[in-house]
A and B are shown apart, each in its own frame.
Chain A
Amino acid sequence: MQKEKKRALISLLFFAKQVIQMTKKKKLGRKKRLQAEKMREGKYFGIFLAAIGVIAITISGIFVYPLLKPSPNQTNKSPNQTHQSNKIKAVIVDQLGYTDVMSNKSFVDNATEILQQGGYEVDLVEGKRVTVNFYRELGIHDYRLIILRCHSVLGENKTPPLALFTSEPYSSYRYQHEQEDNRTTKVWFLSDVFQDNTKYFGVTYRFFNYSMYGDFNNATIIMMGCDGFRYVGYDFYGNKYYYGDMAMAFIERGAKVYISWTGGVLGSHTDTATITLLQYLVKERQTVREAVVNTNKEVYWDPIYGSILQYYPFDVGNYTIPEIKKYDPG
């Protein structure tokens, strides 16, 4: 019985071996072999292409990500934030100097001289250096007097917000978060006056509200561009006053007073008026109200646009900018 079982098991094993050998030895035809080879090659090719795709996407990601990297959000502090300088500083931001037509060296020289004689250490930021990131860091340098000699433009049909020109050419890929949030806009000239068709980045009041580092630390802001005050309002006593989104943003970020134009202004007129204003503010140490009123009396309104200088907020009229040292006429 046991022998029989043994024999049956052996025959079963033998059969199994036969079957295995048969399947192993079963040779494919030439056609089928080629087909299998093709399939194998196609599979490798697919894997190879997929690998290239993955690499391409990774590399494109590496390229694209830095361009699309979100810009810093509302930040009042920055690692570079400094308010440590002992010297009282003023800055002339001469974005207009970027174009030959508006370049005015004598304005820069005269303004620098008045400020230096009044005890200020004067920084000059000209042309191409006036970028979005320059405005981002404007609040960290502890400037007490900021002169913005720049183009400023409104939207279509003179609608707000007002945007200050930078000299940084516009790109869809930079500052995307800030573009989407209307902190930066696309600005350009409509006429041939400047012989410049380039589109630049503009910065709106939202940029100063949410993207600028630091604060203005009671600085006096003189915004020499057009439409610095676009809106007209009335105070409790019925007095007419001018205000604007940009003016409010600067005050909200710590500026003491913001002085600008009630409408459009010619380059030559704003230069003349600002020099006069600086003489009244720094040299003669008049209050903001006196200086603005006397400047308007002296230079009159703009000959083309009829705009005049105004200040904001209304209640700082009696403010006199701090005396750093007795004015030294040299």
Chain B
Amino acid sequence: MEEKEIRKIWKKTTLGISALLLLMMLRIATATGTRLYVWPQTKTITVNLSFDIEIRVEDVTDLYGYQFKLSFDKDKLMCVDNDIHIPTEWTNWWCQENEIDNDAGTYWVAVSALKPSQPFSTEGYFSLVTLEFKALEVVEESVLHLYGTELVDYGTNIMTHTTTDGSVKILTPSVGDDGISEPVSGDELRRANIELAISVILLITIPVGSVVFVICRKRKRER
């Protein structure tokens, strides 16, 4: 009886371990597939400052066109600039969409290579777009969500891929680290004093002197 139970437990344990291994292998397989993601995955910034994020594609074969949309919290972030990077293999290309909509909090881009461009492949990563955002308000976490993503190959087949969103943490600024203190030299102060005295003297003498000059000329003419 005891032996049977032990066997049962052993069977279950073996099955569990196998399932776990299978899951891990699947996960590794997915992780090594084509991926479209926001980089850096989390960005920490202080309010009112601008920062860049990139939308990267990783481990891709025969890429011949792409499109994606990125949504962001329009109250916390403002997209101020974008820069599309074209692979060198794409000697001829067409950008169908490249639109920042800060009212809706979205960015939409669609680019495709045209003949005679060669398809683009990389085992590493390639930055498709750089987006510059300005942090508007303090927030613990604001998600940069990738959606409507499409990667197409030379035969206009849609490529399977995974996407990874990014997030931004916006902090209050430091209480002094962004500032500087500068001692003022005596020479600088003396120069300022002289400048002030000269300007006051000129302010008085020029109008009065002009009046006197005009009067003298008038008297001379009369004589």
Residue of A nearest to B171 (CB): A266
Residue of A nearest to B137 (CB): A101
Indicate if B192 sits at the interface (CB-CB under 8 A): yes
Please state if B177 and A264 are interface contacts (CB–CB under 8 Å).
Answer: yes
Assuming the A-B contacts A64-B200, A176-B189, A265-B175, are A193 and B181 also in contact, with contact meaning beta carbons closer than 8 angstroms in the complex? no
Please state if B193 and A56 are interface contacts (CB–CB under 8 Å).
Answer: no
In the complex, chain A residues whose CB is within 8 Å of the CB of B157: none
Number of CB contacts from chain A to chain B under 8 A: 157
A60 and B198 CA atoms in complex are apart in Å by 9
A108 and B201 CA atoms in complex are apart in Å by 49
Please state if B179 and A55 are interface contacts (CB–CB under 8 Å).
Answer: no
A176 and B183 CA atoms in complex are apart in Å by 12
Indicate if B160 sits at the interface (CB-CB under 8 A): no
In the complex, chain A residues whose CB is within 8 Å of the CB of B48: 101, 192-195
Residue of A nearest to B187 (CB): A180
Indicate if A310 sits at the interface (CB-CB under 8 A): no
Binds A, one of B33-41, B74-82, B108-116, B204-212: B204-212
Indicate if A257 sits at the interface (CB-CB under 8 A): no
**Mask: chain B, 192-223; 1 = CB below 8 Å from A; 0 = not:** 11001100110011001100100010000000
Please state if B183 and A64 are interface contacts (CB–CB under 8 Å).
Answer: no
Indicate if B17 sits at the interface (CB-CB under 8 A): no
Binds B, one of A81-89, A125-133, A182-190: A182-190
Within 8 A of B (CB), among A159-177: 161-163, 165, 172-173, 176
Please state if B176 and A173 are interface contacts (CB–CB under 8 Å).
Answer: no
Smallest CB–CB gap between A211 and chain B, Å?
15
Interface residues of A (CB under 8 A from B): 41, 45, 48-49, 52-53, 55-57, 59-60, 63-64, 67-68, 96, 101-102, 149-156, 161-163, 165, 172-173, 176, 179-180, 182, 185-195, 202, 204, 224-227, 264-268, 270, 303-305
Please state if B171 and A188 are interface contacts (CB–CB under 8 Å).
Answer: no
Please state if A63 and B173 are interface contacts (CB–CB under 8 Å).
Answer: no
Please state if A185 and B205 are interface contacts (CB–CB under 8 Å).
Answer: no
Smallest CB–CB gap between A167 and chain B, Å?
13
A265 and B181 CA atoms in complex are apart in Å by 17
Please state if A52 and B180 are interface contacts (CB–CB under 8 Å).
Answer: no
Residue of B nearest to A45 (CB): B216
Indicate if B103 sits at the interface (CB-CB under 8 A): no
Please state if A194 and B173 are interface contacts (CB–CB under 8 Å).
Answer: yes
A149 and B175 CA atoms in complex are apart in Å by 9
Interface residues of B (CB under 8 A from A): 44, 46-49, 138, 171-186, 188-189, 192-193, 196-197, 200-201, 204-205, 208-209, 212, 216
In the complex, chain B residues whose CB is within 8 Å of the CB of A156: 180, 182
A53 and B208 CA atoms in complex are apart in Å by 10
Smallest CB–CB gap between B220 and chain A, Å?
8
A304 and B44 CA atoms in complex are apart in Å by 9
In the complex, chain A residues whose CB is within 8 Å of the CB of B197: 60, 64
Please state if B182 and A187 are interface contacts (CB–CB under 8 Å).
Answer: yes
Query: Which among A102, A152, A153, A195 has the highest number of chain B CB atoms within 10 Å?
Result: A153
Q: Among A163, A179, A195, A304, point to the contact of B181 (Cβ < 8 A).
A: A163
Instruction: List 16 additional A-B contacts (Cβ < 8 Å) besides A57-B201, A154-B176, A189-B179.
Output: A45-B216, A48-B212, A53-B205, A56-B205, A150-B175, A155-B180, A165-B176, A173-B196, A179-B184, A179-B189, A185-B181, A225-B175, A265-B175, A265-B177, A270-B175, A305-B177
In the complex, chain A residues whose CB is within 8 Å of the CB of B176: 151-154, 165, 225-227, 264
23 pairs, A vs B, C-beta closer than 8 Å: A49-B209, A56-B205, A60-B204, A96-B175, A101-B172, A102-B173, A149-B175, A153-B180, A155-B181, A156-B182, A163-B181, A172-B184, A172-B192, A172-B193, A173-B192, A186-B182, A188-B179, A193-B48, A193-B173, A195-B48, A267-B174, A268-B171, A304-B171
Please state if A180 and B184 are interface contacts (CB–CB under 8 Å).
Answer: yes
Please state if B174 and A190 are interface contacts (CB–CB under 8 Å).
Answer: no
Please state if B179 and A266 are interface contacts (CB–CB under 8 Å).
Answer: no
Q: Among A182, A190, A194, point to the contact of B180 (Cβ < 8 A).
A: A190
Please state if A185 and B138 are interface contacts (CB–CB under 8 Å).
Answer: no
Smallest CB–CB gap between B134 and chain A, Å?
10
Please state if A102 and B171 are interface contacts (CB–CB under 8 Å).
Answer: no
Residue of A nearest to B169 (CB): A303
A67 and B49 CA atoms in complex are apart in Å by 38
In the complex, chain A residues whose CB is within 8 Å of the CB of B182: 155-156, 185-187
In the complex, chain B residues whose CB is within 8 Å of the CB of A193: 46-49, 173, 178
In the complex, chain B residues whose CB is within 8 Å of the CB of A153: 176-177, 179-181
Please state if B204 and A268 are interface contacts (CB–CB under 8 Å).
Answer: no
Smallest CB–CB gap between B169 and chain A, Å?
9
In the complex, chain B residues whose CB is within 8 Å of the CB of A162: 181
Assuming the A-B contacts A179-B184, A185-B181, are A265 and B189 also in contact, with contact meaning beta carbons closer than 8 angstroms in the complex? no
